[in-house]
A and B are shown apart, each in its own frame.
Chain A
């Protein structure tokens, strides 16, 4: 492995670790106001939904239909069956459409 590759990987790993500890280091031991606590409580949902947002505006009809089926499965089923339904339905739709 050349030196630039190693340098990139090490800096990447350091910056990733920094991103993981930064929020903790800043907020550790602080008492948040009730209002800030409510704000922080909405963060998990905001982060998760932002990560998967591109699927909601996919330009492929098969992906959008697959998402609808996955969404319906998620409201009724637990994690593993939902994953299986979502993957199988989306894969099948992509081959059919």
Chain B
């Protein structure tokens, strides 16, 4: 399929009967969901563990899907649970959670260029569902197709699949609670490294242009060893950005 679903839908009244546009959108959404499948499988063990941890910290079974449904960010939720006390230290938890999420600011900045055709209001709704994986899959898909805008139904198919999986399995984890053992023992934590490495392979810009990635890797790795907490994500992302700025001169 050439062109984005957006251009299909906006020109549909002229070129296509609306049912054809609707079925094109459905195909795109299913394509997004299918591409997201490995990610959804990777989500499940983490969602179960998060739900179980949350109930061990004293959250009720129904509070867990409330949290994951309103927040929808695994990194910040794990951080919040690791810092959770009774009563909770509200400001500490919110500040640390924002720190983990600070990478979203850069991600949203990148996505802005790919959402030029979308109204601001609609974009603000779509961004609620932006997570590492839905963002990366949609960008990789746009780049693969050589277009400068993401396919909205593709993005929504992937992102809503992730949302539904995350909320329902964190709820299940809360209900199952301490039945679950330590899933790290089974290697489940490697699922995310695997997903990200494949996505990185798809984005590989060549050795020279990938130098900022190496800076990010080294800085984030060092900070993760030396500084407790989630500072390494922000430190790695920002130092990679700085490296790209400096190295951009001779690119």
A74 to B72, CA, bound (A): 27
Within 8 Å by CB of A89, from B108, B113, B124, B187, lies: B187
**8 Å CB interface, A19-42 against B:** 19-30, 32, 35, 37-42
Among residues of A, the one whose C-beta sits closest to the C-beta of B90 is A8
The answer to the question of B37 belonging to the interface, with a C-beta cut-off of 8 Å to chain A, is yes
Within 8 Å by CB of B111, from A23, A37, A78, lies: A23
Chain B residues with Cβ under 8 A from A90's Cβ? 187, 189-190
Chain A residues with Cβ under 8 A from B94's Cβ? 8, 11-12, 15
CB-based contact A42/B212 at 8 Å = yes
**8 Å CB interface, B107-133 against A:** 107-113, 115-116, 120, 123-124, 127-128, 130, 132
A53 to B203, CA, bound (A): 17
Chain B residues with Cβ under 8 A from A28's Cβ? 112, 115, 120, 123
CB-based contact A12/B194 at 8 Å = no
Distance (Å) between the CB of A88 and the closest chain B CB? 7
Chain B residues with Cβ under 8 A from A52's Cβ? 192-193, 196-197
CB-based contact A54/B101 at 8 Å = no
A85 to B42, CA, bound (A): 13
A88 to B196, CA, bound (A): 17
Q: Chain B interface secondary structure, helix, strand, loop or mixed?
A: helix
CB-based contact B190/A67 at 8 Å = yes
The answer to the question of B22 belonging to the interface, with a C-beta cut-off of 8 Å to chain A, is no
Within 8 Å by CB of B216, from A46, A75, A77, lies: A46
Among residues of A, the one whose C-beta sits closest to the C-beta of B185 is A94
Chain A residues with Cβ under 8 A from B233's Cβ? 47, 50-51
Chain B residues with Cβ under 8 A from A27's Cβ? 108-109, 112-113
The answer to the question of A91 belonging to the interface, with a C-beta cut-off of 8 Å to chain B, is yes
CB-based contact B241/A39 at 8 Å = yes
Chain B residues bordering chain A, tally (CB within 8 A): 94
Query: With A40-B110, A79-B38, A83-B38 given, is the CB distance from A92 to B245 under 8 Å?
Result: no
The answer to the question of B170 belonging to the interface, with a C-beta cut-off of 8 Å to chain A, is no
Distance (Å) between the CB of B121 and the closest chain A CB? 11
CB-based contact A47/B194 at 8 Å = no
Query: With A32-B113, A43-B240 given, is the CB distance from A9 to B185 under 8 Å?
Result: no
B residues at A contact (CB < 8 Å): 35, 37-39, 41-42, 59-60, 62-63, 66-67, 70-73, 75-76, 80, 87-88, 90, 93-94, 97-98, 101-113, 115-116, 120, 123-124, 127-128, 130, 132, 135-136, 139, 185-201, 203, 205, 209-210, 212-213, 215-217, 219-222, 224-225, 232-233, 235-237, 240-241, 244-245, 248, 251
The 10 residue pairs across chains A and B that have the minimum distance between CB atoms: A50-B236, A46-B240, A91-B187, A23-B108, A23-B109, A90-B187, A53-B220, A86-B194, A13-B70, A74-B197
With contacts A87-B187, A91-B187 known, what are 18 further pairs, Cβ within 8 A? A9-B66, A9-B71, A11-B90, A16-B101, A19-B101, A23-B109, A27-B112, A39-B241, A42-B205, A46-B212, A46-B236, A49-B236, A73-B194, A79-B39, A79-B195, A83-B38, A86-B194, A87-B190
A residues at B contact (CB < 8 Å): 1-2, 4-5, 7-13, 15-30, 32, 35, 37-57, 63, 66-67, 70-71, 73-75, 77-80, 82-83, 85-95
